[in-house]
Amino acid sequence: MKRLWITAAAIAAVVAVQLVSAGMHEEMPPADGERLWDYITEENPYKDWEPFPGYEEMYEGKSPHGDYLRLYANDIAVKAAKQGEPMPDRAILVKENYAEDRQTLMAVTPMYRIQGYNPQAGDWFWVKYGPDGKIAAEGKVEGCIKCHTVKKDQDYIFSQPR
């Protein structure tokens, strides 16, 4: 009898975890710059995320991004990066772009993978925000895609986990 209860409790726990993770998934924003900003600053603040593996410190950027960069990734993205796997649906990379003084935040530029959103270009939703969240560009942004296409065989991502 006792064993039966333990089995039942174990099954209930597994179901609960699945329900919670399914729920979290549903709460993730659609391809909408404003909703994504609320998500990454309030609901699941990117500053609490882990850095992209190997990018724990601020690092020097190249044009057109800032002089100094920080790269954060949500747990879906971190997990895939650590396992050397392609970015799954709902992976988010958030890059902060700082000025030469390493203090002044100039822009926040995320890539957010939404399966089926833009299959021609890796299903990434691109946004460029000002430091206050003001949207400068969003969506299937041609400029972002054109340049990141160089890394097409790497999921459109320049920075590789290290």
The footprint of ligand HEC (CB under 6 A) covers 61-62, 64-65, 69, 71, 93, 95, 109-111, 126-128, 137, 141, 143-144, 147-148, 157-159
| Residue 27 CB, nearest approach to ligand HEC (Å) | 22
Question: Is residue 87 within 8 Å of residue 72, measured between CB atoms?
Answer: no
* Closer residue to ligand HEC in complex, CB, 45/143: 143
Smallest distance from the beta carbon of 17 to ligand HEC, in angstroms?
30
Give the up-direction half-sphere exposure of residue 98: CA atoms within 13 A in the CB hemisphere.
13
Q: CB 114 → ligand HEC: shortest distance, Å? A: 14
| Whole-number Cα distances in Å, 54 to 71, 72, 78, 79 | 10, 11, 11, 13
Q: Measured from the CB of residue 6, what is the shortest distance to ligand HEC in angstroms?
A: 46
CB 44 within 8 A of CB 74: yes
Q: Which is nearer to ligand HEC, 29 or 110 (CB)?
A: 110
Closer residue to ligand HEC (CB): 30 or 143 = 143
Name 41's Cβ contacts closer than 8 Å, sequence gap at least 6: 133
